[in-house]
Structure 1
Amino acid sequence: MSTVAHARPGVVEQRIRCGELYVQAEEFYVRQLELRVAGDVEGWTRTFTPDAVLESAAPGEPARGHAALAALACGASPRAGADAPAPRYSIGKLEVHPRDDGALRTWCSTIVRLAPAGGGPAGLHVCVVEDVLVRSLAGTWRTGHRRVVRDVVL
């Protein structure tokens, strides 16, 4: 005789909802990274809330708001010049945790490959990115707070 385990009421629905949110977060990061690689600073900053805070792995004060994010993106651009290849980003180990307020707390490991102008060996940076994603009035996700920490273990 076989027994079938039945999930508690709501557990299946919760797992489906978490899966849907995971896919939404993954799609958000794909779009955000595409804008960054394309050099679309304005489009990239619009993926953040107007009052967003970005705590960079670089020393200094956090960037607050779209103007500061745009300045950070332009000043910290990994491109050494017009001939330099765009950096390549790869995210992995994405974790998505819904919060009670409707926001998402996400965590991922990010690899940034920097190819210097004129060739030569590429630089590789591994960072941990912790975000709070909030849904805009239009229903799209935006980063409300980001913390980037360099992973020095690797």
Structure 2
Amino acid sequence: MAIAGAALLAGCESVTTEQYQASAVVTYTWYVDYETQGQGGADRAPRIEEFESTSLENKNGQRPDGAVSGPDERGLWWPATPPDPTVDELEARLRGQERIGRPRLAKNVEYRIIFRQPGEPNRTVPTEYSVYRQVVRAYEDRVPLQLTLDPTESRVTQARPAQ
């Protein structure tokens, strides 16, 4: 990432920067519930096992290498789904009197903003979907942004064009 100007606004949790990226890491993961019947016939909460997963990083709304589907309704590209757990894999994780539940494929997305301040290394900070989309739109036109951080400066809560 080439670095132009960025300035920390004194006394605030705001950063104005010209160098930033939006990142969304999308992940497919197989999960299976292993259920045990409790005493008196009452079911207990299932034990959840995680199986294989696949991930893909989306940057600035562009189609990443390895994408096999997308963009979806949120503008995200997705990798191939991981292989289903085999019966041998499912049985290998059984304990005691458990029953194997139906495998389910979960989707997860982690949104991040990467930005730089003068004289400092890049910072990668988590955010939410709406902020990710604001940064993607600004990135297309290379608009300087004002990023608002939470009080601990550990999360970007807002992104808007700098004035």
Check whether TM > 0.5. Answer: no
**TM-score of Structure 1 vs Structure 2, range by shorter chain:** under 0.3
Structure (1/2) with the larger helix percentage = 1
TM-score of the pair, normalised by structure 2: 0.24
Structure (1/2) with the larger strand percentage = 2
Structure with greater Cα Rg: 2
